[in-house]
Structure 1
Amino acid sequence: MTDGTNRGRTVERALDIVDYVSTVRSPVKLSQISRETGLHLATAQRIAATLVGRGYLRTTDAGYVVGPSVLSLARAFTLQDRLSVASFPVLQGLTASSGLTSSIYVRTGDSRVLTCRVEAPQPLRYQLPIGHRLELTRGGGKVLLAFLPEADFQEVMEGFHSQELANGRNQTREDLEREIDVIRTRGYYLSVSERHLGTVSLTAPIRTVDGEIAGAVNIVAHDDTLSPEEMTELRPQLMNATRTIGEQM
């Protein structure tokens, strides 16, 4: 095995550790890191120590947490990411005209990440920070799932069996596949109480001039202020926002 291959595997393992720790809300023990990443305990300990030294992880009495170096990467992303830069003024206009919180999500692996957000004058009762990860199989994530390359789509679907939504509905694989077909036909998705009970959202993909999916625009409200029918009426504004952003990509 070449030195280059060894270095590549070490980088992958380090990223696996950072990815795992970043998705957990509380400190994690080394044994948890080893189990969840599939790394030998000694290997996980060695790599984690390096990450601590570089500031990507931090140790506490309760375990490992993400370190401050990650913040500098996040800041650099918001300044350098073309989609975020192009999206922000468009989201400001969309929120001003709709009165709703608007967001940009991009796919990373089998999840989606919030990269840009403009809060409504009356914010939601729950808050999501920039960088928050969510699944592709619930709510607006289904839009990004629907337009994945076929191989990536099949990989996600093979690992999906069923999922309980916030409204209590058990979403089966067959349910999800039917909804994906509808999204591909309509080009948008209306979600009602899937992630948070009492919320309604509308999501559409951002297509670049080359036809690639760069991300998705989402608007969301509580259903005691906006009904699903009223949310659907905002579709022209949402689609206009996605076109405007896409033209700048």
Structure 2
Amino acid sequence: MENKNTIPAVDKSLKLLHVLAESSEAMTTAQLARGLEIAPTTCYRIIQTMVGHDWLRPTSTGAFTFSSGMFPLLKPLSDYQQLFESLGAPLRQLVEQTGLTAKISVKQGDVAATVYRIESPRPLSPSFKLGGTFPLALGSSGACLLSGLEDEEVKLILDESPEGAWAYQTRADVLARVCSVRKSGVCYDPGQYQPAVHAISAPIDNREHRCFAAISLIGWANDFSEKSIKELKRLVARCASQCSKKLGDKAVA
């Protein structure tokens, strides 16, 4: 959602860092300007400002890449990753009990991001890229992350969801999943994100009972029979509760 209380120059600077981070190689001023759809002179000034702070450095080819001045900024992110890695034991137990893939997602603006996962031991199973993002309108994990928001904010997020989010579902489907989380603490996605992939998710709450993250159990459609769904929901909800207790005061929504 667009936030009117932002500074355009800072917004452009942060978007530049995102574009560079997603690139597999250093980028020139012209490439970054095209990627951001901003004037080359504006892009040049942003880059030179970051070079001055040792966040970026020029390469021998005249392109730019990240510099060692970024390292101090990564320390909190390392702590954040360790926070989720501390949940490895309950997630591994869930994977061992079910044979399915388990992952943790968090809300980042208007999207959800996968921050931790434990793969299924099976040779063929659904897999999600660590760090990958998807609209909050999608999946059972998206519903968990939406469930703690005010209805008006949920409405705005759904209004601004990309067209692709509605390929296999309707707005009513999303709201039904959100309602399920609010009522029972768990929800099921019967392939409305990706038709062949089904999932069950539950919120990981902080001490104030606010949703901090979502845990999901993911498998193929035939892994979620009508008979097994009830037990899988119970296991996911129990794992989410264990994660919430383990995080304690360290979880800040």
The percentage of counterpart residues that share the same residue type is 20
Aligned to 1:3: none
Distance 1:81 1:205, change over 3 A: same
**Distance in 2, Cα, partners of 1:49 & 1:194:** 45
Cα distance change on mapping 1:236 and 1:173 into 2, 3 Å: closer
Alpha-carbon distance in 1 for matches of 2:58, 2:217: 35
Matched residue, 1:227:
224
Checking the alignment, whether the CA contact within 8 Å between 2:158 and 2:171 is kept in structure 1 is yes
Residue 214 of structure 1: how far off its partner (Å): 1.0
> Which residues in structure 2 correspond to 1:182-197 (within 5 Å)?
182-197=180-195
1:9-158 equivalences in 2 (<5 Å): 10-20=9-19, 22=21, 29-35=31-37, 39-48=38-47, 54=54, 67=66, 77-81=77-81, 83-122=83-122, 124-139=124-139, 140-150=141-151, 152-158=153-159
Deviations along 1:151-184, whole A, 9 cap, x unmatched?
A: 543431331375455xx53x34344334433332
Distance 1:217 1:179, change over 3 A: closer
- State whether residues 18 and 56 of structure 1, in contact with CA within 8 Å, keep that contact through their aligned partners in structure 2: no
Give the Å deviation of 1:188. 1.6
| TM superposition score normalised by structure 2 | 0.73
SS of 2:41's equivalent?
helix
Distance 1:148 1:57 in 2: 40
Q: Give SS of 1:233's match.
A: helix
Give 1:13's aligned amino acid: K
- 1:245 has 2:240 as partner: no
- Residue matched to 1:180: 178
Note the alpha carbon deviations across 1:175-210, whole angstroms, 9 max, x for none. 433443333223222112233331111111011222
Which SS does the other structure have where 1:244 is aligned? helix
CA contact (8 A) 1:143 1:203 kept: yes
Deviations 1:135-157 (A, max 9, x none): 21111212212222455434313
Segment drifting more, 117-126 vs 207-216: 117-126
Letter in 2 for 1:127: S
Corresponding residue SS for 1:15:
helix
Q: 2-side partners of 1:90 and 1:180: how far apart? A: 24
Bigger Cα displacement from structure 2, 172-181 vs 136-145? 172-181
Give CA deviations for 1:53-97 in whole Å, capped at 9, x if unaligned.
Answer: 8566998x9x98x85878996786344446413312211111111
Which whole-Å CA distance do the structure 1 matches of 2:44 and 2:158 have between them?
33
**C-alpha distance in 2, partners of 1:114/1:120?**
16
| Letter aligned with residue 33 of structure 1 | G
Unpaired segments ≥5 residues, structure 1:
1-5
Alignment: residue pair count: 234
CA shift in 2, pair 1:23/1:154, >3 Å: farther
Give the secondary-structure state (helix, strand or coil) at the position aligned to 1:130.
Answer: coil
TM-aligned CA distance change 1:90 to 1:162, over 3 Å: same
TM score, norm. by length of structure 1 = 0.74
Question: CA 1:214–1:123 in structure 2 vs 1: closer, same or farther (change >3 Å)?
Answer: farther
Q: Say whether the 8 Å CA contact 1:144–1:216 is kept in structure 2.
A: yes
Match of 2:215 in 1: 217
- Stretches of structure 2 lacking an aligned partner (at least 5 in a row): 1-5, 249-253
